[in-house]
Amino acid sequence: MRISNRFLLRQVATAGLAANALRPVPGMPLSVPTFVAGWLTAELAPHLLAATAIDSAVHVARRGVRTKGDVAGLAVAGLSAAGLAAVIATGRGARVEVESALTSALGSDYRSVAGGAGSVAGVSWRQLALPFRMRRDDVVRVRNLAYAPGGRRFRVDIYHRRDTPVDAPVLLQVHGGGWVIGSKDHQGIPLMLEMASRGWVCAAINYPLSPRAVWPAHLVAVKQAVAWLRDNVSRYGGDPGFVAVTGGSAGGHLAAMLALTANDPGLQPGFEDADTSIQACAPHYGVYDFTGETGIKATRQRVESGLMPMVLGKQARFPEDYEAASPLMHLRADAPPFFVVHGMSDSFIPVAEAREFVRRLREVSDEPVAYAELRGAQHAFDIFPSIRSAAVVRGVADFLDWAHARRRNGRVDADAVG
């Protein structure tokens, strides 16, 4: 194949990636390739833009513009660059989207409530340039502590600042993976590094996976982790009195269920008296409707797929057992503060599902429910640092600081009155 034709094909491929990131191809049969291509393109758009510019410059320097293939390749490269620039612009818009969500739900003075807390180090341009090299010099990770018997799926990693904090709030991270795959080693790291730098203690857990584990074994394990944290986190500088939870996808579902089923004895076999309450919840692109009762087409397709019997068990009764696993069926007035985050371009979990969950939770909850809907964001947009995910990490961190400060100030005021 001639060099000019290869150059043209590369530019056509990049243009296709940019187009899919801006407007993902809809439909269940294409959801996986659409997600993978859209996710990586959306969060690595600056890298692809730089690669497109370099590729074009090198091609022109070596060959000039001599053939129709050269002209067409450069024209398509221009279109790719414009598309990638638009993708970058939507990513930059996350900062405004997140800030608007927080001020709308928490009030314009929420930062002052949190005592002016903010990012200690932030995400540098070097980190954005090397997004898969995630670490901070001021954060220590303690690996593979057992929070319950049962092997490696019942392990927790603790992240804390190198100068071990005292009475620090705690953040529990629950990984996603459709309840069938996933690991604590690969998700939530940017947020945990940020929170640990701010003085929090973070805990990332594994939990039993389907099909070997059948619901509610996943949630029971997460509650076991909370009980373990309440008994042990003080060893690492954490305050067992304040535990927040976050997670993405299936982890977002489990985080929401954990927050909405506090101290339910039916979900705490053998540790019914343990305190599994949660003080703040920040689910990302979570699953909220297990029955399809919202009427959303993509949600109904998921409910009717082979995934649900794998998670709930082949003997699961519809709708009873499906409702038991559905956050929409567990909304309560005493739910903790929520910050729900979802991408408008999510190929796996429709953004309408998050909208409906937020709408209904706001109707019943006595606490604020913040909601950030992100233009151009795919599923799993926060796995590694990017322009968008950095803005979301800072916003979620500010929400968690607000929730902790508000509770701490309320406790101080109550003590003063007493």
**pLDDT above 90: percentage of residues in the chain:** 84
Number of folded domains in the chain? 2
Query: So what's the pLDDT on residue 27?
Result: 64
Query: So what's the pLDDT on residue 123?
Result: 61
Contacting residues for 399 by C-beta, under 8 A, at least 6 apart: 102, 106, 280, 282, 337, 339, 370
H/E run at residue 342 = strand 338-343
Active-site residues, by number, are 249, 346, 379
CB burial class (10 A; 0-12, 13-18, 19+) of residue 68? exposed
Residues 208 and 287 in one domain: yes
Residues 186 and 329 in one domain: yes
Residue that terminates a domain, selected from 24, 59, 92: 92
CB burial class (10 A; 0-12, 13-18, 19+) of residue 121? middle
* 101-112 pLDDT per residue, tens: 999 999 999 988
Distance of alpha carbon 135 from alpha carbon 196, whole angstroms: 11
Residue that the structure tokens 């818009």 belong to: 93
Q: Which of 207, 227, 212, 115 is nearest to 155 (CA)?
A: 207
- What is the number of other CB atoms lying within 10 angstroms of the CB of residue 320? 9
Residues 75 and 124 in one domain: no
Reported as half-sphere exposure (CB side, CA atoms, 13 A), residue 12 has a value of: 11
Residue that terminates a domain, selected from 38, 66, 92: 92
Residues 82 and 130 in one domain: no
Query: Using CA of residue 306, residue 307, residue 313, residue 318, what is the dihedral sign?
Result: negative
CATH of the domain at 156: 3.40.50.1820
Strand order in the sheet with 139-146: 139-146, 155-161, 201-205, 168-174, 238-248, 280-284, 338-343, 369-374
pTM of the model: 0.94
* 382-400 pLDDT per residue, tens: 999 999 999 999 999 999 9
Q: Cα dihedral angle (14, 16, 20, 21), rounded to 10 degrees?
A: 20
Determine how β-strand 201-205 pairs with β-strand 155-161: antiparallel
Largest CA distance in the chain: 85
Residues 72 and 199 in one domain: no
Q: Which residue type is seen at 282?
A: A
Distance of alpha carbon 289 from alpha carbon 353, whole angstroms: 7
Q: Residue 22's domain spans which residues?
A: 3-92
Q: Which of 1, 85, 82, 97 is nearest to 45 (CA)?
A: 85
Q: Per DSSP, which regions of 207-310 are E strands?
A: 238-248, 280-284
Residues 22 and 151 in one domain: no
Contacting residues for 110 by C-beta, under 8 A, at least 6 apart: 102, 103, 398, 402
Task: State how far the alpha carbon of 28 is from the alpha carbons of 253, 287, 301, 307, 346, in Å.
Answer: 20, 16, 8, 13, 12
Residues 53 and 104 in one domain: no
Rg of the Cα atoms in the chain: 23
- The answer to whether the CB of 141 falls within 8 A of the CB of 172 is no
Q: Which of 7, 77, 85 is nearest to 41 (CA)?
A: 85
- Token readout for 329 is 């069926």
Residues 325 and 374 in one domain: yes
- Token readout for 112 is 């002052």
Query: So what's the pLDDT on residue 412?
Result: 44
Residues 87 and 146 in one domain: no
Residue that terminates a domain, selected from 92, 108, 142: 92
Q: pLDDT under 50 in the chain at which residues?
A: 119-121, 412, 414-418
Residues 159 and 111 in one domain: yes
Residues 99 and 76 in one domain: no
Q: State phi, psi for 155 to the nearest 5 degrees.
A: -120, 150
Distance of alpha carbon 277 from alpha carbon 288, whole angstroms: 19
Q: Which of 8, 9, 37 is nearest to 24 (CA)?
A: 37
Query: So what's the pLDDT on residue 390?
Result: 95
Query: So what's the pLDDT on residue 414?
Result: 43
Residues 134 and 51 in one domain: no
